[in-house]
Amino acid sequence: MKRCLLLAASMAAGVAFFLLSSVAETPAAANAFEYATIRWDGRDNTCVILPNGNVDFVGAKLKAVKRPERVDERAFYMNVVMNSLGRDGFEFAGMSSDQNVIVMKRPLAPKAGTNEWGDKVRPPVAELSDTPPAPGIQKFTPPPPDTLQGYAGGSGHLIQSVMDDGSVIKLEDDSLWKVSPIDEINSALWLPATDIAVIDSDDLSYPYKLVNKDDNEVVNARLLEQ
């Protein structure tokens, strides 16, 4: 655990230095990436440093994956974690010389108010002014808030189906949930009719937690469709 925390600190410093040194060279936001780092320290102590700075110790989850006989432990379990991240858009970026650290990357989404090249984009004219409209002209009405926010959570939900090897969970109210790749090892084993509670999470990428009350397991997730 100490190794993962030290690696997280050193990676953060390295990324900050890289960003500061590359600003003048790359003023546009094209080809910008965010990174996740997998640190192998034995199956039970392996961790993943996520782009938001959270460190996920995945040893307990890897225990649920049976390794075939005569297969190298490090290669097998690192492959499991890499495939989990790959299902969430990450791709291989690099590896340390001792093969204990693997870096994965995925493109950054454009920031609000910018296009894919990082140029500022003016908002629609209807959003620039709150002045009353001229007579006979209908005032612009913004669309309703994103239905993916503010989901009415709590207990009493049931799993309707588990799809894509645990990548997507469908609840009894037909809501669809994308499970964090790191947690798919658990959700892949969940069964229909399982009692689920939906609560808030502090993970910005996956702002909800699905709590399996039958198996006492928790996965981070984001709402895809409601």
How far is it, in rounded angstroms, from Cα 178 to Cα 166? 9
How far is it, in rounded angstroms, from Cα 176 to Cα 221? 10
Q: What does pLDDT average to over the chain?
A: 77
Q: Give the CA distances from residue 99 to residues 39, 60, 192, in Å, rounded to whole numbers and listed in that order.
A: 9, 21, 39
Against a cut of 0.85, is the pTM above it? no
73 touches 80 (CB < 8 A): no
How do residues 151-187 score in pLDDT, each as one tens digit?
Answer: 666 778 999 999 998 999 999 989 999 999 999 999 9
pLDDT reading at 2 higher than 50 = yes
How do residues 177-191 score in pLDDT, each as one tens digit?
Answer: 999 999 999 999 999
How do residues 5-16 score in pLDDT, each as one tens digit?
Answer: 555 555 555 544
Mean pLDDT, range 89-103, rounded to an integer: 92
CB neighbourhood size of 58 (10 A): 21
